[in-house]
Structure 1
Amino acid sequence: MTILLTASIVFKGLAILLLGRIAWTDFSAQKISNRDVLLLLCLGLGALQFQALQTHSWLEMGISAFGGAALFLALFPFWLLHKIGAGDVKLMSVTPLLIGGSHLMVFAVALLVFAIGTAALVKNPFLMPAGIFRHYVQHMDRKGVVPFGVPISAAAICALALQMYHAIMVATSSGILEQLN
């Protein structure tokens, strides 16, 4: 069982690194590549698979798949109306499979906080410390472009980091890590 826990933590760590890359790419180029979203999907499904093997229950994977499908169906009309980018829709649809159904509330609260912060920065660029960032945000405001992949990635990173912390704390308190040494 410890190998499954370790593999799950490694997959989540790799997902955090990939989410950081997605956030930077979306911030700098307003583009979320399909390759990165597919990699996130694979990492998320792998971590959910390890969790299902540990708990002997597939319920978490089913809830996550339902959440991803629901988000895709809810956000697809907004993409058709050009209110949100296709990369943002795909990233939001993959996120429940990455995070897991039981941690979606943590993700939702973090997403709300980061989205409000992003909207505040776009509407009030004078809040930013450096002139170059002010200029960049004013450019985004003029063009009507908001890199929504940044708050999605930040919220997913927070949820994954909390999961990893919780898994490590449970492993150390149950003596699993002492058995490894």
Structure 2
Amino acid sequence: MLSAAAMLMKLLAVPLLFRIAKLDFTTHRIANSNVLLLLCLGAASLFLAGLGQGSWWDLGLSAAAGLALFLALFPFWLLKKVGAGDVKLMAAAPFVSGGADLMVFAIALLVFAIVTVMVVRNPMLLPSPAFRVYVEHLDRRRVVPFGVPIAAALIVTIGLQLAAQVLAAWSS
């Protein structure tokens, strides 16, 4: 029962991740309230899973990874290479993905970041002229909405976790 409640918390994070991605794409801003809500949903999910399993390893690993990501990205924010919202979102991401699935999140983030860079660097590959103009604008301003690939990677990670839980329930 507690693992189902933990997965429900993660599923509640999916619409919030879509909202974060949309706002970052359109306004280049990630609201602190959205990141805080995402952090709370992820921590609640890990807490419920820890209660069910009797182990707090996943919560501790997520907290350590979040702190490490924040400390690693903070200098890049000081150098104006990354936005503050992106740094905070990356620090909250391990709580949503969970410590056990950090590698899945990292691989998905790498794939989505490469796709984002390719789209920004080669806007002529895109079908719509209006979208091409927008991406060319991003390239001229040297602004990339990095919250979009972070949110997409988290959504993929949650989807894979849900699929694994459904398969485990079917097999038992």
Give 5+ residue unaligned stretches, structure 1: 175-181
Q: Distance in 2 between matches of 1:162 and 1:168?
A: 10
Q: CA deviation at 1:54?
A: 1.1
Q: Distance in 2 between matches of 1:17 and 1:169?
A: 23
Report whether the alignment pairs 1:13 with 2:5. Answer: no
Q: Distance in 2 between matches of 1:69 and 1:151?
A: 20
Give 5+ residue unaligned stretches, structure 2: none
User: Match for residue 102 of structure 1?
Assistant: 100
User: Match for residue 55 of structure 2?
Assistant: 57
Q: CA deviation at 1:6?
A: 2.1
Larger mean Cα displacement after TM superposition, 77-86 or 160-169: 160-169
Alignment of 1:1-181 (within 5 A): 2=1, 4-174=2-172
* TM-score, length basis structure 2: 0.98
Counterpart residue identity of residue 88, structure 2: K
Q: Distance in 2 between matches of 1:61 and 1:6?
A: 17
Counterpart residue identity of residue 17, structure 2: L
Counterpart residue identity of residue 111, structure 2: V
Aligned residues between the structures: 172
User: Match for residue 178 of structure 1?
Assistant: none
* TM-score, length basis structure 1: 0.93
1:79–1:89 Cα contact (<8 Å) kept: yes
RMSD: 0.8
1:12–1:164 Cα contact (<8 Å) kept: no
Q: Secondary structure at the match of 2:4?
A: helix
Q: Secondary structure at the match of 2:127?
A: coil
Q: Secondary structure at the match of 1:129?
A: coil
